[in-house]
Amino acid sequence: MSGFFLMMNLKNKDKQLQIDGLNKSGNALEIRGISGWLLTTFLATAEAFLDSFEPLEALRDRPTKFRISRLRHNNIVQLFETYDEKQFVYLVMELVTGGELFDRIVAKGSYTEQDASNLIRQVLEAVSFMHDNGVVHRDLKPENLLYYNQDEDSKIMISDFGLSKTEDSGVMATACGTPGYVAPEVLQQKPYGKAVDVWSIGVIAYILLCGYPPFYDESDANLFAQIIKGEYEFDAPYWDQISDSAKDFISHLMCCDPEMRFTCQSALEHPWISGNTAYTHDIHRTVAVHLKKSLAKRNWKKAFNAAAAIRQLQLLRLSSNSNRLQKQASQQQPAPPIA
């Protein structure tokens, strides 16, 4: 998620905001400057660059903002208020402090298939609620699943609605999302709907049980070809210790045909979620080893993208300054003599 973060307090019922960078009381809120690219909120000269990214435009979609602001669920980060300025959209959101999903799993001393089932159940309940209210997230991934606080039994929270869309806002056909988590119909540029979120949850469930993604290739073209064909395996020996029920559950979520794919409600009724088929033996060692590698690669990619964004913005600023100087120089030139 791009943008910068400030701790805020809701000063009174009129929503006057008081900046307090050190306040961590129970009523603390968070404000995010949504830019559409890492770190770009700090550079106001990049308006044209920022406006080319859909997250900013999606957040200016008033029907979508209104619908999202009405989403009140125990596992959804609450949007309290939005402030729309020329260059940025500011979101005042519920503060969650427990950290990202994968980081917490790596830090745990033990972790079981049943723990994964409990996590996915919370995500499914929240996404089912979203779908019932006509909202499609379109960018579900582990980075957008946050723990509410540092407690051992903390609930999981869905965040980052920058790419979300309401069903009544028109046909969804835009290719958006995160490579590796995006559904086949999105890559095929077909009209799509709620089922894309279910596919993403299937990918997340897969990773939660083995620590690595079902689809991977250094080339995006090859990666997308794998996703479109639904080419994934439950590799030995990593999946030998995972229940057949878990594999069946994932297969119904990562089904290439969106018409045959589980809905959130049918997924919640699967015995791996609603029953007691999830194994309880510790799989932390295997999962954590692979997750650490994935996290290291992801952090490197974030740093690379940040550096690329800064270079691009510096070029834009230099170009802007050059144009301004040229304009000033032309204005200072003496007028030609009148013949």
Residues known to be catalytic = 139
d(CA 116, CA 169): 34
d(CA 205, CA 211): 10
Helix (H, G, I), strand (E, B) or coil at 331: helix
Helix (H, G, I), strand (E, B) or coil at 61: coil
Q: Let me know: does 48 contact 316? Beta carbons within 8 Å.
A: yes
Residues facing 166 on adjacent strands: 135
d(CA 284, CA 140): 23
Residues facing 76 on adjacent strands: 158
Tokens (6 digits) for 289: 């080893």
CA-based torsion, 167, 176, 200, 33: positive or negative: negative
Query: What 8-state DSSP symbol labels residue 40?
Result: G
d(CA 304, CA 298): 10
Stretch (H or E) spanning 3: none
Residue with tokens 């309940």: 125
